[in-house]
């Protein structure tokens, strides 16, 4: 026999599965999670917040070529409930546009986490690298929702838009700057210390 919490969680997971695999907009997923908000964030006013998020995209293009873009981020933040949040982020990714490339970036973050689980974060990547491209910098903005599931653990989703300008090509010193602009969904796991 399942508890009401398990039944509700199962319903959310079924809805989540259908959204993911029916290719419905990820924006709807964040809105859906937000509309189901019943629980609040864990009851701490001030905390150190550790957050891990990941985005996985694996498909084929019109020429039947394998296409992927995987992104992960680790964030460590000082959280003031319903107030400003400050910290740092480390970001790494793998993608295959014109060959397989991996990259990383890091920088300071600032944002706001509400009592109801909604959050907004802005990160300025002070140093980014992608494949042969280096000396990159730019912004990422995240809008998401997390739900308290027990102890100090929260699960959720976010939509991110990231715009980075890479200024140096290690293989060609005459290369023009490379601009990358991505919008992508991510799953989020958060722990309050």
Give 73-113 pLDDT, tens digit per residue.
Answer: 999 999 987 789 999 999 999 988 767 789 999 999 999 99
Cβ-contact 79, 43 below 8 angstroms: no
The architecture in CATH of the region 40-192 reads Beta Barrel (2.40)
Q: Compute the mean pLDDT over every residue in the chain, rounded to the nearest whole number.
A: 83
4-21 and 26-35 helices, crossing angle to 10°: 160
Q: Which residue has better confidence, 100 or 156?
A: 156
List the one residue out of 113, 103, 181 whose CA is nearest residue 143: 113
What does pTM read for this prediction? 0.75
pLDDT of amino acid 85: 94
Q: Which residue has better confidence, 101 or 137?
A: 137
Residue 175 banded pLDDT, cuts 50, 70, 90: confident
Instruction: Kindly calculate the radius of gyration of the chain based on its CA atoms and give it in whole angstroms.
Output: 18
Q: Which residue has better confidence, 55 or 26?
A: 55
Read off the pLDDT of each residue in 141-166 and give the average, rounded to a whole number: 92
């Amino acid at each position: 026999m399942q508890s009401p919490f398990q039944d509700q969680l199962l319903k959310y997971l079924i809805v989540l599965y259908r959204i993911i695999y029916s290719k419905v907009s990820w924006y709807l997923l964040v809105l859906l999670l937000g509309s189901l908000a019943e629980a609040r964030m864990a009851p701490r006013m001030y905390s150190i917040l550790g957050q891990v998020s990941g985005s996985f995209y694996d498909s084929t293009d019109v020429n039947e070529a394998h296409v992927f873009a995987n992104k992960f981020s680790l964030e460590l933040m000082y959280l003031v409930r319903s107030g400003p949040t400050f910290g740092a982020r480390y970001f790494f990714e793998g993608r295959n546009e014109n060959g397989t490339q991996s990259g990383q970036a890091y920088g300071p973050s600032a944002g706001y986490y509400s009592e109801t689980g909604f959050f907004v974060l802005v990160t300025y990547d002070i140093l980014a690298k992608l494949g042969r491209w280096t000396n990159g910098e730019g912004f990422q903005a995240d809008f998401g929702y997390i739900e308290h599931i027990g102890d100090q653990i929260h699960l959720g989703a976010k939509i991110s838009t990231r715009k980075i300008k890479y200024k140096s090509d290690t293989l060609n010193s005459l290369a023009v700057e490379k601009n990358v602009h991505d919008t992508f969904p991510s799953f989020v796991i958060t722990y309050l210390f």
